Structure 1
């Protein structure tokens, strides 16, 4: 059993992953459309392209960390290097000077966001690879992920609720600049906490895989259960990415008050602080796969209720969003606990440690899904005729309001339900994993 210091220390890395996974998806699209005046479709593309770069970079980062020989472990040095660079780039992302041109302002955002994405790859991939190496226990990984998801939920709640509040406390770009600095500090706390907290963790000693990166990616792609789990998770990342991107727009144009974005976001994330341990108990009783399916159904149900947000009372919108959040808690915890199972079973069966490549592919998929969410949401806005502006006050046609609602509700509901077509075929239950890992 892992000591609590390691569980908490490892979980602190989720302060960084949760913050960076949330704030750009929540704030960057509105910053581009309603402060810089970038057209919705172009803004969606700017949000998407740096994350698409990560799809290429993440497996490379995983292979590099697999082949790193360091007394601190093959992963931990990357936590500090990648994480601190991420914080610096993020502070600069929203700190751009007024360059007198929408195109130049957009270019600044694109270049800095690419820098953020690059640094994040070299933090996130080694970080996600660590559980498969610091414990061999199927149950212990679930406990480890319970700590991680609980801290992740807190980090998402803290950063996601404070970011719009800080922005709203100042006028125009100044609000975004202050917000960027505060979020960068939060990133540093998570990075340093994970690095220091995992000092007592066991260091994995399996030999890194031979062959080219393409050879190892082919092996991972042929791992049936990993492939099914990844497909499910990517589709759901796309769903939640679209919902995050829609929070600011729904608050402003559907609920009629941009100040409500903080409340709406808290309803989305807050339940995870309470329900993550509950989902852990559910997983212990019915298994990770069935627990994941149950959480996904709860998420989809809440999203379906939100289809009527345009005419529903505010209270119902908040309750339905909280229902989405209840499902989101489990839909984050279970796949995170299932991923190390797939990598560890492969390592024990083959004698080759491909944890970094596995998690590189995984985080590439997650990153793509979370990036596609705002990108697709921006496209939905464009199809609805959304009007961008530099003041955020442009009147919107009825079609744009409809697009705002459907991108926030129907789109995530459909994506979540479709994802279950892959999850239902996943076969790595507790009995299979324990048998594979028995010496």
Structure 2
């Protein structure tokens, strides 16, 4: 790929347009994990275990499809560039299929389950062909390190706001209208939000530089072979994936805990805001702590804070609601750090690999990382659904159902103790992570006069 001028700043409209693509990725990345499992069990009457499979299978398909989508977009020849055409094609398909996802007509339960499975597979397929080209664009929009940082700042800020707004609004729309109509309207509103992000990203990057690209390196087997030769990256990846399972389980449990244990009344929205809100405020604090005690130490501290908060939330059936909210705020505080540190450690592992191998393979690392995160977030709701099934959770078609004590315990423990144990278990792999600032230092890097790689 020809290098773009390192000193040429991107127009503000391009930065904003690219960042607005996160409205689409943030909405789709949040709402199915938050709303789809309750929709299946409490609106369509699908058994918890079957519902867990429906939520998991399309996301697992994405893990396989992502490398394929990347290679196809690499080989796309178009006057608009290799990435932008996919933003519009796949983005519109994602918005349409998302509206269909929550619009199942009244049919036999088996047909309704098939409707959701097919629609979610369509969503996952469209999302792969939107997300992979979208994530690949920054490296091609500019060759400037600082300009890429500014570009990603827009994206991350818009992503965080979207997750907060979409995740808080979706349960409110559903609860206001109630029943299947609530889910249908919510699905359409979120589909429109996705479409806004898609069109904004496509139109906003029309003035961006256009470059031809060379096909990416190898297939999934080649990528896994590279990962196998990088033990520190592998340990970091396993830690992150296990924690992604924990996050996915907690996200899936928000609606169940709110409705069955906390008594509803907007509790789902409050829980979600408590879970993700601290990420908007505390990222600089975690970054400052990491500067003082190191990234690995900061990651351990954040994981412990998350686990402690989750264990306190295990008292939800007996404690005052305020205590549960405070516990989830503590979880959210730890969650913020558990997002900051692994994303800062990933470039370190790639930098060390580049020095050892003589070639930069950050794209390979990022591809494997994204696939692992997708798998973990897909497993989380599936594991939570299995816990519900073990507890004897009673599915329904929209009417109020009295859950047995075992189901209430399963709802609570799946939201609290299970994620806490997973977060602590992940530290067994992180304990063996050995990269330090000294290992990552590159005194020959002209852009790093102090010999320190920052992320």
TM-score (norm 2): 0.85
2:134 aligned to which of 108, 112, 127: 127
Q: Which residue of 1 aligns with 2:367?
A: 360
Q: Which is worse superposed, 293-302 or 318-327?
A: 293-302
Question: Is 1:369 equivalent to 2:376 in the alignment?
Answer: yes
1:44 aligned to which of 47, 52, 55: 52
Q: Which residue of 1 aligns with 2:325?
A: 318
Contact 2:74-2:213 within 8 A present in 1 as well: no
Partner deviation per Cα, 1:114-170 (whole Å, 9 max, x = no partner): 011111112223333455666788898777666544432211111111111101111
Contact 1:9-1:194 within 8 A present in 2 as well: yes
1:262 aligned to which of 255, 258, 269: 269
Residues 123 and 355 of structure 1, relative CA distance in 2, 3 Å threshold: farther
CA distance in 2, matches of 1:436, 1:60: 37
2:397 aligned to which of 364, 384, 390: 390
- SS of 1:83's partner is helix
Question: Is 1:179 equivalent to 2:186 in the alignment?
Answer: yes
> Can you give the 5+ residue segments of structure 2 that lack an aligned partner in the other structure?
1-6, 447-455
CA-based RMSD: 3.1
Shift of 1:67: 4.5
> Can you give the 5+ residue segments of structure 1 that lack an aligned partner in the other structure?
none
TM-score (norm 1): 0.88
Structure with more helix by fraction: 1
Shift of 1:188: 2.0
Residues 70 and 235 of structure 1, relative CA distance in 2, 3 Å threshold: farther
CA distance in 1, matches of 2:391, 2:384: 11
Residues 401 and 295 of structure 1, relative CA distance in 2, 3 Å threshold: same
Q: Which residue of 1 aligns with 2:97?
A: 89
Question: Is 1:305 equivalent to 2:312 in the alignment?
Answer: yes
CA distance in 1, matches of 2:391, 2:325: 24
1:289 aligned to which of 277, 280, 296: 296
CA distance in 2, matches of 1:223, 1:269: 32
Question: Is 1:24 equivalent to 2:25 in the alignment?
Answer: no
- Point out which structure has higher relative CO (alpha carbons under 8 A, 6+ apart): 1
Contact 1:206-1:353 within 8 A present in 2 as well: no
Shift of 1:344: 6.0
Q: Which is worse superposed, 312-321 or 285-294?
A: 285-294
Shift of 1:366: 1.3
CA distance in 1, matches of 2:364, 2:73: 9
Contact 1:310-1:405 within 8 A present in 2 as well: yes
CA distance in 2, matches of 1:136, 1:420: 36
The structure that has the greater radius of gyration is 2
Partner deviation per Cα, 1:359-390 (whole Å, 9 max, x = no partner): 33222211111111111111100100111111
- SS of 1:28's partner is helix
CA distance in 2, matches of 1:245, 1:180: 17
Q: Which residue of 1 aligns with 2:159?
A: 152
- SS of 2:100's partner is helix
Contact 2:352-2:439 within 8 A present in 1 as well: no
Residues 78 and 30 of structure 1, relative CA distance in 2, 3 Å threshold: same
1:423 aligned to which of 407, 426, 430: 430
Q: Which residue of 1 aligns with 2:421?
A: 414
CA distance in 1, matches of 2:289, 2:206: 31
Residues 284 and 85 of structure 1, relative CA distance in 2, 3 Å threshold: farther
Q: Which residue of 1 aligns with 2:225?
A: 218
Contact 1:295-1:331 within 8 A present in 2 as well: yes
Contact 1:48-1:372 within 8 A present in 2 as well: yes
Question: Is 1:278 equivalent to 2:285 in the alignment?
Answer: yes
Question: Is 1:240 equivalent to 2:247 in the alignment?
Answer: yes
Shift of 1:348: 7.0
Shift of 1:395: 0.9
Residues 14 and 202 of structure 1, relative CA distance in 2, 3 Å threshold: same
Residues 203 and 238 of structure 1, relative CA distance in 2, 3 Å threshold: farther
CA distance in 1, matches of 2:63, 2:175: 33
Residues 102 and 264 of structure 1, relative CA distance in 2, 3 Å threshold: same
Contact 1:300-1:417 within 8 A present in 2 as well: yes
Residues 284 and 147 of structure 1, relative CA distance in 2, 3 Å threshold: farther
- SS of 1:80's partner is helix
2:259 aligned to which of 244, 252, 259: 252
Q: Which residue of 2 aligns with 1:57?
A: 65
Residues 347 and 154 of structure 1, relative CA distance in 2, 3 Å threshold: same
- SS of 1:169's partner is helix
